[in-house]
Amino acid sequence: MMNIVLLGPPGAGKGTQAQRLVNGRGMLQLSTGDMLREAVASGTPVGLKAKAVMEAGELVSDAIVSALIGERLDSAGDAGVIFDGFPRTRAQAEALDLLLAERGRSLDHVVEICVEEDALVERITGRFSCASCGTGYHDRFKQPRQEGVCDVCSSTDFCRRPDDNEQTVRTRLAEYRRKTEPILPYYNERTLVRRVDGMRSVDEVAARIDAVLDSSELVRGA
Ligand code: ADP
Ligand code: ADP
Ligand code: ZN
């Protein structure tokens, strides 16, 4: 049971790579962004608090997102977990360590996906997803095999996130540099960080992440 964090700026490819790990390895993806969007869509108290903050591209409070992760971890069973978009602050990183320790888990890797700023803006402004199953696509980089039809579930409904516009992206990137990047030293002290070049194709990034995860399996098996 391996537990990993996918760290990287908005649009780096965290969700795309997490989906591949879920399909390929049966891991469980815990995305605070997805959880918050569900809360907004169903109008829960958390959703009501988070909506405007998310639309502005700012960060939702540490207490809210840490509580969401704690709830989901309780039903994770034996599956290895991919933390996607969490933690995003030093306080969240500390909360995660506590939540894991309480459940007899710990982090194996923090995979940092590095992508240049111009590429991030292009990835985010072209992003869309299946409204029915959530599979992610891109106008230029990952179109459905048949135009207008989801590869996975054949739905013809797609959606774009309200915060995926150029102006909000700039705020989200600034939040990342100011609040999320400072987590790296916290994990580096424990030699958990594995840097992956996220400028490559989806398949090449996936191969590099696989290499990270498989190398540690060898060490453990020895
Ligand atoms: P992206 O995939 O572009 O990185 P996410 O879907 O992870 O974006 O997050 C969308 C928004 O949800 C963020 O801009 C932020 O407002 C909120 N959010 C998601 N995860 C967190 C978190 N761990 N801490 C605070 N806010 C979060
Ligand atoms: P994040 O979860 O980090 O915000 P996503 O996985 O949603 O990022 O990816 C953002 C957009 O970029 C999506 O439209 C996705 O299809 C596309 N994308 C992801 N990885 C790559 C890549 N390596 N090369 C080109 N486009 C990519
Ligand atoms: Zn679909």
88 carries an active-site annotation: yes
Closest CA to 198 of 15, 17, 12, 19: 12
Res 2 pLDDT > 70: yes
The two tokens of residue 204 are: 């090449």
pLDDT at residue number 222: 43
What separation in Å is there between the alpha carbon of 138 and the centre of ligand 3? 14
Q: Look up the pTM and report it.
A: 0.96
What separation in Å is there between the alpha carbon of 222 and the centre of ligand 1? 38
pLDDT at residue number 215: 86
127 carries an active-site annotation: yes
**pLDDT band per the 50, 70, 90 thresholds, residue 1:** confident
d(CA 50, CA 56) in angstroms, rounded, equals 10
Res 220 pLDDT > 80: no
As a whole number, the mean pLDDT across the chain is 95
Summarize pLDDT for 69-118 with one digit per residue, the tens.
999 999 899 999 999 999 999 999 999 999 999 999 999 999 999 999 99
pLDDT at residue number 209: 98
> Of the ranges 59-63, 127-131, 158-162, 213-217, which one carries the lowest mean pLDDT score?
213-217
178 carries an active-site annotation: no
pLDDT at residue number 100: 97
Summarize pLDDT for 176-213 with one digit per residue, the tens.
999 999 999 999 999 999 999 999 999 999 999 999 99
What separation in Å is there between the alpha carbon of 14 and the centre of ligand 2? 7
Q: Which residues surround ligand 3, an ion (CB under 5 A)?
A: 130, 132-133, 135, 150, 152-153, 155
Instruction: For ligand 1, pick from 40, 55, 60 the residue to mutate: most ligand atoms within 8 Å of CB.
Output: 60
14 carries an active-site annotation: yes
**82 Cβ below 6 A of ligand 2:** no
Instruction: For ligand 2, pick from 123, 143, 161, 180 the residue to mutate: most ligand atoms within 8 Å of CB.
Output: 123
Which residue's structure tokens are 């060898």?
Answer: 218
Res 218 pLDDT > 70: no
d(CA 187, CA 12) in angstroms, rounded, equals 19
What separation in Å is there between the alpha carbon of 68 and the centre of ligand 2? 24
d(CA 55, CA 67) in angstroms, rounded, equals 21
The secondary element (H helix, E strand) that includes residue 151 is none
